[in-house]
Amino acid sequence: AVVSRRVRASGRTQMFLQVFATSLVLLFLGEAAVGILAFVMKDRVRGVVEEHMFEAIKSYRDDSDLRDAVNVAQRTFQCCGVRNFTDWQENVYFKCCNEGIESCGVPYSCCNMSLQVNLFCGVKIMEYETEEYCKNTAKYVPMSHLKDGYGKGERIYETGCL
């Protein structure tokens, strides 16, 4: 009687092992397929990701959860914006045409701070004549218009996250 129970138990165990092994193989094949698709369609994937990142920049002040996610990403990856820090000109609060305190600036998460977080370190970091830029909205504020002491990673991250 003891032997027949062991045989039944080992048969059940073998069935569970086969189900587990099949699940692992299917999971691996699925991951491989997703990886291959991402590689083949990398330009399209990059375009979709870039579009969503720009939407996040535009909506930065509208959604606190989104703002926190953007801040964590920029601090973790030590980057600013999508392509570079001038992408923050897409946000109405940071745009140089704006008269607010954050105009011509970037969020604090773009700042290169080792120990202490300064929420105002990205305020008014660019020097720029706003009239020409505000009339031609397709034109970006050039990267060369950072105030002295801000460029080359001294005070802010200049490179984008994508």
- Separation of alpha carbons 142 and 128, rounded Å: 9
pLDDT tens per residue across span 45-63? 889 989 999 999 999 989 9
Alpha helices in the chain (DSSP H): 2-40, 42-58, 64-77, 130-135
Q: Which residue has the higher pLDDT, 19 or 105?
A: 19
> Percentage of residues in the chain with pLDDT exceeding 90?
30
Confidence band of 30 (pLDDT split at 50, 70, 90): very high
Confidence band of 70 (pLDDT split at 50, 70, 90): very high
- Separation of alpha carbons 92 and 81, rounded Å: 14
Return the residue matching tokens 């802010």. 156
- Separation of alpha carbons 111 and 132, rounded Å: 27
Burial of residue 19 (CB within 10 Å: 0-12, 13-18, 19+) is exposed
Q: Which residue has the higher pLDDT, 46 or 130?
A: 46
Sign of the C-alpha dihedral computed for residues 75, 81, 82 and 85 taken in this order:
negative
24 residue type, one letter: L
Q: Are 95 and 110 in contact (CB under 8 A)?
A: no
Model-wide pTM > 0.75 = no
Return the residue matching tokens 């001294």. 154
**Rounded mean pLDDT of 76-88?**
89
